Amino acid sequence: MTKPADLYIKEAMPNKINISPRKQKLIVYIFLIVVTLAVFWQVNQYSFVNIDDVIYVTENIHIQSGITLNGLCWAFNTTDAEFWHPLTWISLMFDYQLYGLDAGGYHLTNLILHILSTLLLFRLFNRMTGMVWRSAFVAALFALHPLHVESVAWIAERKDVLSAFLFMLTLCIYVYYTEKPVIGRYLLVLFFFVLALMSKPMVVTLPVIMILLDYWPLGRFESKEDNLITWQLKEKAPFFVLSVVFSIITLYAQYKPSVKRFPFLLGPRIGNALFSFGTYLKKIFWPLDLVVFYPFSYQLTIWQVLGASLLIIVISVAVIVMAKRFPHLFVGWLWYGITLLPVIGIIQIGSQAMADRYTYLPLIGIGIILAWGMPLLFQHECIRKKILFPAGIAVLIILSVLTWQQCGYWKNSITLFSHALQINNDNYLAHGNFGFALFEEGKSEEAIDHYNKAMRMILNPASVYSNRGNAYAKLGQYQRAFDDYNEAIRLEPDYADAYYNRGNIYREFGQYQKAVKDYNESIHLKKDNIRAYYNRGIAYTKLGYYQLAIDDFTKATDIKQDFANAYNSRGAVYLHQGNRKAGCWDAQKACELGNCEILEVAKYKRDCR
């Protein structure tokens, strides 16, 4: 097979630098590691944020059990967070085993995976093309672009960095297989593709990327011209079957009965998809005003949609016409478009118009176009060497500064959503989550102000009503809190947290039967709602239903084995019933977990000596 490196113009590396290819690669590896660490290291000091990190870690009792047999079974059986991605759950369990609830450890794991993906990306293109510095530029663009901050700095996006790492590893092994097509190497490619799919189903496009790489730079099409279609079908069929299977699983996970249906009409979704396709391109070349959430808008004009469509058509036609002469442009553009397709919004998930994280893999395609396309603009080799190399360094420096700045916005929920509101004050999700962050800091009145603003912008603000109810309850305005919980339940009858919160109000006023009824509904809708089990146990205790209370406290400790309050409350019930042995055991367990000063335990200390 002809080496692609021999088919293209020499790289734009100054002649004065005389370094062996092996040392050049070593320099690139060190550069990529050091610069990426320098730009992203600050995330090691950051906190969890209140968008999805709650679901993935801080209130996920399965993650907080660490690596256990039950936890592994749950990871492979759940579609929580609207995905089936067991490896992502397992990686977070492993982090909890190491770091507990220290957010810095989770950020560090994300950063390590991002660096490993960067190194594999460099190795992939360097091995395929033999070109060190062009491959280095593609990898550096991937490592340092501000659009990738969201995937790296957001703990809940572990699925992005983990699946990308396995995506790159799969392609590297695929190249290894193409050099010697034997069954062992083929099965290895298939195995790592399955692992990638089990991290995030967005990688379903990987078989198409393999075909693109077969065309360029691997040049495999040239030797298979006589049976091209048969060869590709035979070799890629298992990969496409897996992609279809995982796509079906993903659609089920995201559109099962407990999850909202498509929130928008098909026409606006298609218009938004076309406009977003072009907007992503704009943000790749002008990465400013990046935020965690871009609200879906019905206000797009026909000219915006037509302009984006025209841009897509013109570029697509151009790269197809020039495919034989400039295959790298063709492959780069299709890489961008095809990897973006699963998340472009035709099948709408959530209420966002677009998301920075969706460019994590697609941006590589634009990197290919730049790395192999820019040298074509300069006819003379000496000009290329004097301009492209320093220009590339300058671009990476600018991107590094912007990325370092963008990372700073992810420090905590307050900085993240206050920045989003500075960019767009009509961002209802930012108002809602900023309000929640203020509430957690004890600023309930300020939180209510932001909840009110969010309600004016969203059609079905059930979660905002429930959160505002919590703020009113904190201020002692219980009737307003009660009204908000009722409205949240009216808007969304299967909203488990609203029932739980209303149950707390009933319990606060001694209406224990009504509290139990709401806790029952919350548990029915959310089987592992540990707080509902615990508080229902408290209500049962007040009603004198001691065995039911013991059962609920036991269920709470089964779900979370270090739940000190549950041991404490169960121990109090046992001692009240005269079961000294069981009560003292629970009291001692509660003390071991650090809750010796709780009233119930202190009251019965003398009985347990």
The Cα–Cα gap between 478 and 125 comes to 62
- 321-330 long-range contacts (CB < 8 A, ≥24 apart) are 326/372, 326/373, 326/376, 327/215, 327/216, 327/217, 328/8, 328/216, 328/217, 328/368, 328/369, 328/372, 328/373, 329/369, 329/372, 329/373, 330/215, 330/216
pLDDT top residue among 411 and 10: 411
Mean residue pLDDT across the chain? 91
Phi and psi at residue 294, to the nearest 5°: -110, 110
pLDDT value for 82? 85
The residue length of the chain stands at 609
- Residue 605 in this model has a pLDDT that exceeds 90: no
Residue 291 CA to residue 421 CA, distance in Å, equals 9
Q: Is the pLDDT of residue 599 over 50?
A: no
Mean pLDDT in residue range 412-418:
97
Mean pLDDT of 186-193: 98
Who contacts 25 (Cβ-Cβ below 8 Å, separation ≥6)? 126, 132
264 burial via Cβ count (<10 Å: 0-12, 13-18, 19+): middle
Cα dist from 14 to 21, 390, 550, whole Å: 14, 10, 76
Query: Confidence class of residue 294 from pLDDT cuts 50, 70 and 90?
Result: very high
Answer whether residue 254 shows pLDDT above 70.
Answer: yes
Confidence of residue 1 (pLDDT cuts 50, 70, 90): very low
Q: Residue 587 and residue 568: Cα distance in Å, rounded?
A: 6
**CA-based nearest residue to 126, from 444, 368, 476:** 368
Residue 227: per-residue pLDDT: 80
Q: pLDDT, tens digit, for every residue of 355-388?
A: 999 999 999 999 999 999 999 888 777 777 788 8
* 352 phi and psi angles, rounded to 5 deg: -85, 150
Q: What is the pLDDT of residues 435-488, one digit of tens each?
A: 999 999 999 999 999 999 999 988 778 999 999 999 999 999 999 999 999 999
> Is 9 a residue whose pLDDT tops 60?
no
Other CB atoms within a 10 A radius of the CB of residue 598 amount to 19
Q: Give the pLDDT confidence score for residue 587 in this predicted structure.
A: 86
Distance CA 317, CA 527 (A): 53
Contact 87, 195 (CB under 8 A): yes
pLDDT at 2: 41
Task: With H, G, I as helix, E, B as strand and everything else as coil, classify residue 352.
Answer: strand
Q: What single string gives the DSSP state of each residue in 165-213?
A: HHHHHHHHHHHHHHHS--HHHHHHHHHHHHHHHTT-GGGGGHHHHHHHH
Q: Calculate what percentage of the chain has a pLDDT beyond 90.
A: 76
What integer pLDDT is reported at residue 487 of this predicted model? 95
Taking CB atoms within 8 Å and a gap of at least 24, the contacts of 285-288 are 287/145, 287/146, 287/147, 287/399, 287/402, 287/406, 288/402
Question: What pLDDT is attached to residue 224?
Answer: 74
- Judged against a pLDDT cut of 70, whether residue 16 lies above it is answered with no
